[in-house]
Amino acid sequence: MTEKTDAPHPFVGLWVTADGHIRQELLPNGRYDEARGSRRSAYTGSYTVTGDHIDYVDDTGFTATGDVRDGVLYHEHLVLYRERPTA
């Protein structure tokens, strides 16, 4: 018997650039919210995951892609790292 799980996808959560300037949150509902510097929600939209590949469509219709390799998100020209909650 297979159990149904509602656990979020492993990519869900906050990803940030090394300098912290860009923060992209992948939400469990298939939406994302990207902040840049002090500008909250600079970009918002939806995303889909296929394997290690992410396809983004922002709310204006702009599209982008990303790939997660070795725990690092390569999103177009950006390199984002998983931000882990502090205890």
Domains and CATH numbers, the chain: 13-82 (2.40.128.290)
User: How high is the pLDDT of residue 22?
Assistant: 97
Q: CB count, 10 Å around CB of 33?
A: 16
Per-residue pLDDT of the chain (87 residues; tens, 9 = 90+): 444 456 788 999 999 999 999 999 999 999 999 999 999 999 999 999 999 999 999 999 999 999 999 999 999 999 999 997 665
pTM above 0.85, yes or no: yes
- Dihedral over Cα of 51, 69, 53, 56: its sign: positive
Quote the pLDDT of residue 1. 44
- As given in the structure block, the two tokens for residue 64 are 């982008």
